[in-house]
Structure 1
Amino acid sequence: MEQWKRTILSGNSCFNRGDLIDARELYLQALALAQVLFDRWRVADEAVAAYVISHHNLADLHLSLGQPEESAEYLCTVHQRLLNVIQDSQMAPALRQAALRHSNKTYSELLGFVGQYGEYPRTQRLLNSNGEHSRSALQHPAARAGTLSFGVH
Protein backbone atom coordinates (compact mmCIF):
# COMPACT_ATOMS: atom_id res chain seq x y z
CA MET A 1 0.00 0.00 0.00
CA GLU A 2 2.81 2.41 0.82
CA GLN A 3 4.37 2.02 -2.61
CA TRP A 4 1.00 2.70 -4.24
CA LYS A 5 0.54 5.82 -2.06
CA ARG A 6 3.98 7.17 -2.95
CA THR A 7 3.37 6.53 -6.65
CA ILE A 8 -0.08 8.15 -6.72
CA LEU A 9 1.16 11.16 -4.75
CA SER A 10 4.07 11.60 -7.15
CA GLY A 11 1.60 11.39 -10.04
CA ASN A 12 -0.62 13.98 -8.38
CA SER A 13 2.37 16.34 -7.99
CA CYS A 14 3.19 15.98 -11.68
CA PHE A 15 -0.46 16.48 -12.61
CA ASN A 16 -0.72 19.63 -10.51
CA ARG A 17 2.46 21.02 -12.14
CA GLY A 18 1.05 20.32 -15.58
CA ASP A 19 3.57 17.59 -16.33
CA LEU A 20 0.92 15.29 -17.75
CA ILE A 21 3.24 12.80 -19.44
CA ASP A 22 5.06 11.96 -16.21
CA ALA A 23 1.75 11.98 -14.33
CA ARG A 24 0.34 9.44 -16.78
CA GLU A 25 3.33 7.15 -16.33
CA LEU A 26 3.04 7.32 -12.55
CA TYR A 27 -0.72 6.78 -12.63
CA LEU A 28 -0.24 3.74 -14.86
CA GLN A 29 2.33 2.39 -12.39
CA ALA A 30 -0.10 2.96 -9.53
CA LEU A 31 -2.85 1.22 -11.47
CA ALA A 32 -0.59 -1.77 -12.14
CA LEU A 33 0.15 -2.03 -8.41
CA ALA A 34 -3.54 -1.74 -7.54
CA GLN A 35 -4.44 -4.44 -10.07
CA VAL A 36 -1.79 -6.90 -8.92
CA LEU A 37 -2.57 -6.40 -5.24
CA PHE A 38 -6.34 -6.01 -5.59
CA ASP A 39 -7.34 -9.18 -3.76
CA ARG A 40 -4.16 -9.45 -1.67
CA TRP A 41 -4.28 -6.29 0.46
CA ARG A 42 -5.07 -6.82 4.12
CA VAL A 43 -7.76 -4.14 4.11
CA ALA A 44 -10.28 -4.73 1.33
CA ASP A 45 -11.60 -1.17 1.39
CA GLU A 46 -8.09 0.21 0.79
CA ALA A 47 -7.56 -2.19 -2.09
CA VAL A 48 -10.76 -1.14 -3.80
CA ALA A 49 -10.14 2.54 -3.10
CA ALA A 50 -6.65 2.33 -4.64
CA TYR A 51 -8.06 0.63 -7.73
CA VAL A 52 -10.83 3.23 -8.10
CA ILE A 53 -8.54 6.21 -7.46
CA SER A 54 -6.00 4.95 -9.98
CA HIS A 55 -8.67 4.72 -12.67
CA HIS A 56 -10.29 8.04 -11.81
CA ASN A 57 -6.97 9.86 -11.81
CA LEU A 58 -6.21 8.47 -15.27
CA ALA A 59 -9.69 9.53 -16.41
CA ASP A 60 -9.06 13.06 -15.13
CA LEU A 61 -5.69 13.15 -16.83
CA HIS A 62 -7.15 12.14 -20.20
CA LEU A 63 -9.78 14.86 -19.87
CA SER A 64 -6.93 17.33 -19.34
CA LEU A 65 -5.35 16.00 -22.52
CA GLY A 66 -8.60 16.52 -24.44
CA GLN A 67 -9.23 12.78 -24.75
CA PRO A 68 -12.71 12.19 -23.32
CA GLU A 69 -13.13 8.80 -24.99
CA GLU A 70 -10.03 7.51 -23.17
CA SER A 71 -11.45 8.96 -19.97
CA ALA A 72 -14.72 7.11 -20.59
CA GLU A 73 -12.79 3.85 -20.99
CA TYR A 74 -11.16 4.21 -17.57
CA LEU A 75 -14.46 5.11 -15.91
CA CYS A 76 -16.22 2.17 -17.52
CA THR A 77 -13.42 -0.28 -16.75
CA VAL A 78 -13.40 0.46 -13.04
CA HIS A 79 -17.18 0.43 -12.70
CA GLN A 80 -17.51 -2.84 -14.62
CA ARG A 81 -14.81 -4.46 -12.52
CA LEU A 82 -16.58 -3.50 -9.30
CA LEU A 83 -19.85 -4.90 -10.62
CA ASN A 84 -18.06 -8.14 -11.48
CA VAL A 85 -16.50 -8.37 -8.01
CA ILE A 86 -19.87 -7.76 -6.35
CA GLN A 87 -21.35 -10.70 -8.29
CA ASP A 88 -18.37 -13.07 -7.89
CA SER A 89 -19.09 -15.48 -5.05
CA GLN A 90 -15.45 -16.67 -5.19
CA MET A 91 -14.23 -13.26 -3.97
CA ALA A 92 -13.79 -12.62 -0.26
CA PRO A 93 -16.93 -11.16 1.32
CA ALA A 94 -15.03 -8.11 2.60
CA LEU A 95 -13.79 -7.37 -0.94
CA ARG A 96 -17.30 -7.77 -2.35
CA GLN A 97 -18.70 -5.40 0.28
CA ALA A 98 -15.96 -2.84 -0.42
CA ALA A 99 -16.69 -3.09 -4.15
CA LEU A 100 -20.37 -2.50 -3.43
CA ARG A 101 -19.60 0.59 -1.34
CA HIS A 102 -17.21 2.04 -3.91
CA SER A 103 -19.50 1.27 -6.85
CA ASN A 104 -21.59 4.21 -5.64
CA LYS A 105 -18.69 6.53 -6.51
CA THR A 106 -17.86 4.87 -9.82
CA TYR A 107 -21.48 4.96 -10.93
CA SER A 108 -21.82 8.60 -9.92
CA GLU A 109 -18.61 9.55 -11.75
CA LEU A 110 -19.76 7.71 -14.85
CA LEU A 111 -23.15 9.43 -14.86
CA GLY A 112 -21.51 12.82 -14.28
CA PHE A 113 -19.12 12.20 -17.16
CA VAL A 114 -21.94 11.26 -19.53
CA GLY A 115 -23.89 14.32 -18.44
CA GLN A 116 -20.97 16.61 -19.23
CA TYR A 117 -19.28 14.92 -22.21
CA GLY A 118 -22.04 12.81 -23.72
CA GLU A 119 -22.21 9.10 -24.32
CA TYR A 120 -19.51 7.03 -25.91
CA PRO A 121 -20.00 3.48 -27.17
CA ARG A 122 -18.69 1.85 -24.00
CA THR A 123 -20.57 4.14 -21.61
CA GLN A 124 -23.76 3.46 -23.52
CA ARG A 125 -23.24 -0.32 -23.44
CA LEU A 126 -22.33 -0.35 -19.76
CA LEU A 127 -25.12 1.90 -18.58
CA ASN A 128 -27.74 0.18 -20.72
CA SER A 129 -26.68 -3.39 -19.92
CA ASN A 130 -25.84 -2.96 -16.24
CA GLY A 131 -27.87 0.09 -15.35
CA GLU A 132 -30.50 -1.81 -13.46
CA HIS A 133 -27.94 -3.81 -11.52
CA SER A 134 -25.97 -0.66 -10.72
CA ARG A 135 -29.01 1.21 -9.49
CA SER A 136 -30.20 -1.68 -7.32
CA ALA A 137 -26.71 -2.19 -5.86
CA LEU A 138 -26.43 1.49 -5.06
CA GLN A 139 -29.68 1.42 -3.13
CA HIS A 140 -28.16 -1.08 -0.71
CA PRO A 141 -27.36 0.66 2.62
CA ALA A 142 -23.74 -0.47 2.62
CA ALA A 143 -23.14 1.24 -0.72
CA ARG A 144 -23.91 4.64 0.72
CA ALA A 145 -21.21 4.31 3.37
CA GLY A 146 -18.22 4.24 1.00
CA THR A 147 -16.14 7.30 0.21
CA LEU A 148 -12.83 7.93 -1.51
CA SER A 149 -10.52 10.33 0.17
CA PHE A 150 -6.94 9.58 -0.82
CA GLY A 151 -5.33 10.93 -3.95
CA VAL A 152 -8.37 11.86 -6.02
CA HIS A 153 -8.25 15.17 -7.83
Structure 2
Amino acid sequence: MEHWKRTIERANRCFAEGELVDAREHYLQALALAQVLFERWSDADEAVAACVISHHNLADLHLRLNQPEESVEYLCSIHQRLLHTMQNLRFKSELREAALRHSSKTYVELLNFISEHGEYPRSDLLLKNTAAQSSRELSTTSGHIPGVH
Protein backbone atom coordinates (compact mmCIF):
# COMPACT_ATOMS: atom_id res chain seq x y z
CA MET A 1 0.00 0.00 0.00
CA GLU A 2 2.84 2.40 0.81
CA HIS A 3 4.39 1.95 -2.62
CA TRP A 4 1.02 2.69 -4.24
CA LYS A 5 0.62 5.83 -2.09
CA ARG A 6 4.07 7.13 -2.99
CA THR A 7 3.40 6.51 -6.67
CA ILE A 8 0.06 8.36 -6.53
CA GLU A 9 1.69 11.26 -4.67
CA ARG A 10 4.39 11.55 -7.36
CA ALA A 11 1.72 11.46 -10.05
CA ASN A 12 -0.34 14.12 -8.27
CA ARG A 13 2.71 16.40 -7.99
CA CYS A 14 3.41 16.01 -11.70
CA PHE A 15 -0.24 16.65 -12.51
CA ALA A 16 -0.28 19.82 -10.38
CA GLU A 17 2.90 21.06 -12.06
CA GLY A 18 1.49 20.43 -15.52
CA GLU A 19 3.90 17.60 -16.29
CA LEU A 20 1.12 15.50 -17.73
CA VAL A 21 3.19 12.85 -19.52
CA ASP A 22 5.05 12.04 -16.30
CA ALA A 23 1.81 12.17 -14.34
CA ARG A 24 0.25 9.66 -16.73
CA GLU A 25 3.17 7.28 -16.35
CA HIS A 26 2.96 7.38 -12.55
CA TYR A 27 -0.84 7.02 -12.58
CA LEU A 28 -0.51 3.99 -14.85
CA GLN A 29 2.07 2.49 -12.47
CA ALA A 30 -0.26 3.10 -9.54
CA LEU A 31 -3.14 1.50 -11.42
CA ALA A 32 -1.02 -1.56 -12.22
CA LEU A 33 -0.07 -1.90 -8.54
CA ALA A 34 -3.69 -1.52 -7.42
CA GLN A 35 -4.86 -4.15 -9.90
CA VAL A 36 -2.17 -6.67 -9.02
CA LEU A 37 -2.74 -6.25 -5.30
CA PHE A 38 -6.55 -5.94 -5.51
CA GLU A 39 -7.27 -9.31 -3.87
CA ARG A 40 -4.10 -9.41 -1.78
CA TRP A 41 -4.33 -6.31 0.40
CA SER A 42 -5.25 -7.05 3.99
CA ASP A 43 -7.74 -4.17 4.06
CA ALA A 44 -10.39 -4.73 1.37
CA ASP A 45 -11.65 -1.15 1.58
CA GLU A 46 -8.15 0.21 0.92
CA ALA A 47 -7.72 -2.18 -2.00
CA VAL A 48 -10.94 -1.03 -3.65
CA ALA A 49 -10.24 2.62 -2.88
CA ALA A 50 -6.78 2.38 -4.48
CA CYS A 51 -8.30 0.94 -7.65
CA VAL A 52 -11.02 3.60 -7.76
CA ILE A 53 -8.60 6.46 -7.13
CA SER A 54 -6.18 5.19 -9.76
CA HIS A 55 -8.90 4.99 -12.40
CA HIS A 56 -10.44 8.34 -11.48
CA ASN A 57 -7.07 10.11 -11.51
CA LEU A 58 -6.42 8.78 -15.02
CA ALA A 59 -9.90 9.93 -16.06
CA ASP A 60 -9.15 13.43 -14.72
CA LEU A 61 -5.81 13.47 -16.51
CA HIS A 62 -7.41 12.59 -19.84
CA LEU A 63 -10.01 15.30 -19.37
CA ARG A 64 -7.17 17.78 -18.83
CA LEU A 65 -5.68 16.50 -22.11
CA ASN A 66 -9.07 17.08 -23.78
CA GLN A 67 -9.54 13.34 -24.33
CA PRO A 68 -13.02 12.63 -22.97
CA GLU A 69 -13.23 9.28 -24.79
CA GLU A 70 -10.23 8.02 -22.83
CA SER A 71 -11.61 9.50 -19.64
CA VAL A 72 -14.95 7.72 -19.91
CA GLU A 73 -13.13 4.44 -20.58
CA TYR A 74 -11.45 4.66 -17.16
CA LEU A 75 -14.70 5.64 -15.43
CA CYS A 76 -16.59 2.77 -17.04
CA SER A 77 -13.79 0.29 -16.44
CA ILE A 78 -13.70 0.80 -12.68
CA HIS A 79 -17.47 0.88 -12.31
CA GLN A 80 -17.76 -2.35 -14.28
CA ARG A 81 -14.99 -3.96 -12.23
CA LEU A 82 -16.76 -3.12 -8.99
CA LEU A 83 -20.06 -4.51 -10.30
CA HIS A 84 -18.27 -7.71 -11.29
CA THR A 85 -16.53 -7.94 -7.91
CA MET A 86 -19.81 -7.47 -6.05
CA GLN A 87 -21.45 -10.33 -7.92
CA ASN A 88 -18.57 -12.81 -8.06
CA LEU A 89 -18.67 -15.23 -5.14
CA ARG A 90 -15.03 -16.14 -5.82
CA PHE A 91 -14.06 -12.92 -4.02
CA LYS A 92 -14.04 -12.68 -0.24
CA SER A 93 -17.15 -11.13 1.25
CA GLU A 94 -15.12 -8.17 2.60
CA LEU A 95 -13.94 -7.32 -0.91
CA ARG A 96 -17.46 -7.67 -2.36
CA GLU A 97 -18.85 -5.41 0.36
CA ALA A 98 -16.13 -2.81 -0.21
CA ALA A 99 -16.89 -2.91 -3.94
CA LEU A 100 -20.56 -2.28 -3.16
CA ARG A 101 -19.74 0.71 -0.95
CA HIS A 102 -17.40 2.26 -3.53
CA SER A 103 -19.68 1.54 -6.49
CA SER A 104 -21.96 4.41 -5.49
CA LYS A 105 -19.01 6.79 -5.95
CA THR A 106 -18.06 5.34 -9.32
CA TYR A 107 -21.68 5.51 -10.44
CA VAL A 108 -22.00 9.17 -9.41
CA GLU A 109 -18.72 10.05 -11.13
CA LEU A 110 -19.92 8.37 -14.31
CA LEU A 111 -23.24 10.23 -14.19
CA ASN A 112 -21.46 13.53 -13.53
CA PHE A 113 -19.19 12.91 -16.51
CA ILE A 114 -22.17 12.18 -18.76
CA SER A 115 -24.05 15.27 -17.61
CA GLU A 116 -21.02 17.44 -18.36
CA HIS A 117 -19.54 15.76 -21.45
CA GLY A 118 -22.40 13.74 -22.92
CA GLU A 119 -22.80 10.03 -23.47
CA TYR A 120 -20.28 7.81 -25.17
CA PRO A 121 -20.88 4.31 -26.53
CA ARG A 122 -19.22 2.55 -23.59
CA SER A 123 -21.02 4.58 -20.93
CA ASP A 124 -24.34 4.15 -22.69
CA LEU A 125 -23.85 0.39 -22.99
CA LEU A 126 -22.70 0.01 -19.38
CA LEU A 127 -25.65 1.94 -17.97
CA LYS A 128 -28.17 0.15 -20.19
CA ASN A 129 -26.76 -3.26 -19.23
CA THR A 130 -26.82 -2.33 -15.55
CA ALA A 131 -30.42 -1.16 -15.80
CA ALA A 132 -31.45 -4.29 -17.70
CA GLN A 133 -29.78 -6.55 -15.16
CA SER A 134 -31.46 -4.71 -12.28
CA SER A 135 -34.84 -5.12 -13.99
CA ARG A 136 -34.26 -8.86 -14.46
CA GLU A 137 -33.26 -9.26 -10.83
CA LEU A 138 -36.35 -7.39 -9.65
CA SER A 139 -38.69 -9.40 -11.85
CA THR A 140 -37.30 -12.73 -10.66
CA THR A 141 -37.51 -11.81 -6.98
CA SER A 142 -40.72 -9.78 -6.92
CA GLY A 143 -42.87 -12.56 -8.38
CA HIS A 144 -42.23 -14.94 -5.51
CA ILE A 145 -42.45 -14.21 -1.84
CA PRO A 146 -41.00 -17.05 0.25
CA GLY A 147 -43.54 -18.72 2.49
CA VAL A 148 -46.57 -17.32 0.65
CA HIS A 149 -48.47 -19.59 -1.76
1:62 is matched with: 62
Match of 1:138 in 2: none
- Percent identical among aligned pairs is 66
Q: CA RMSD in A?
A: 1.3
Deviation at 1:125, TM superposition (A): 0.1
In the TM superposition, what are the counterparts of 1:136-147 in structure 2 within 5 Å?
A: none
Query: Alpha-carbon deviation of 1:95?
Result: 0.1
Partner Cα distance (1:86, 1:132) in 2: 17
Matches within 5 A, 1:2-151: 2-131=2-131
- Per chain length, whose mean CA-contact separation is higher, i.e. which structure has more relative contact order (CA < 8 Å, sep 6+)? 1
Deviation at 1:124, TM superposition (A): 0.3
Q: What whole-Å deviation, never above 9, does each CA across 1:37-70 have from its counterpart, x for those lacking one?
A: 0000000000000000000000000000000000
- 1:48 corresponds to which letter in structure 2? V
Q: TM-score, normalised by structure 2?
A: 0.88
Q: Structure 1 residue 133: deviation in Å?
A: 5.5
Tell me how far apart the structure 1 counterparts of residues 14 and 87 of structure 2 sit (CA, whole Å): 36
Gaps of 5+ in 2: 135-149
Deviation at 1:131, TM superposition (A): 3.1
List alignment gaps of at least 5 residues for structure 1: 135-153
Based on CA coordinates, which of the two structures has the bigger radius of gyration? 2
Match of 1:9, as an amino acid?
E
1:73-128, Cα deviation, whole Å (9 max, x unpaired): 00000000000000001100000000000001000000000000000000000011
Aligned length: 135
- Whole-Å Cα distance in 1 between the matches of residues 10 and 58 of structure 2? 13
Distance in structure 2 (CA, Å) of the matches to 1:90 and 1:114: 32
